[in-house]
Structure 1
Amino acid sequence: MALDPVIHQETRLRLMALLASLGEGAQVEFTWLKEALDLTEGNLSSHLAKLEEAGYVQVEKGYQGRRPRTWVRLTPQGRAAYQAHRQALLELLKGG
């Protein structure tokens, strides 16, 4: 099993782990992610763009009342890729 280079970067790995921990179908606001991971808007945006390009996350823009909002969720493909990457890391750590 190989490590996924898109996920393996530290910030993207933390982002994927956080989204995976929320359960299937859960979505969170961009601002919540930014604060939870202690990232700047630009940094989070660039990492989300890479994950979105790979099909691992879905980013939706909309409004809550009159306020613009951005929601992020892990896709089924992203959940599978994260689980495979996690398993590859565990195997590597076991020495196998």
Structure 2
Amino acid sequence: MASLATLQIRDVELLAAAGQEVDAKVQLFTPQGLVCTTWAFASLRLEAVFLDKAVARLQEFQLEPKGCAMLLWSLATLRKDCECLGKP
């Protein structure tokens, strides 16, 4: 998905299906995979239906600074409230 985002290929139908698949398999992703997938959806300004599950899973890990920056940029770009980070 990062390749599609880098090339700015915005196939909404394909990425919606991919987002559903990610949502179903969040637990199988590495932290880097989740961060990159979230970044790809944010880069293309597409809804990431898996976002809450991804953030919950990422809280189990200590991200590298680059991963934190990418995730925060993605959340800001998708205009996701801080509630997904467990903060009111």
Which entry has the higher C-alpha Rg, 1 or 2?
Answer: 1
| Structure number with higher relative contact order (C-alpha < 8 Å, ≥ 6 residues apart) | 1
Q: By percentage of residues, which structure has more strand? A: 1
TM-score, length-scaled by structure 2: 0.32
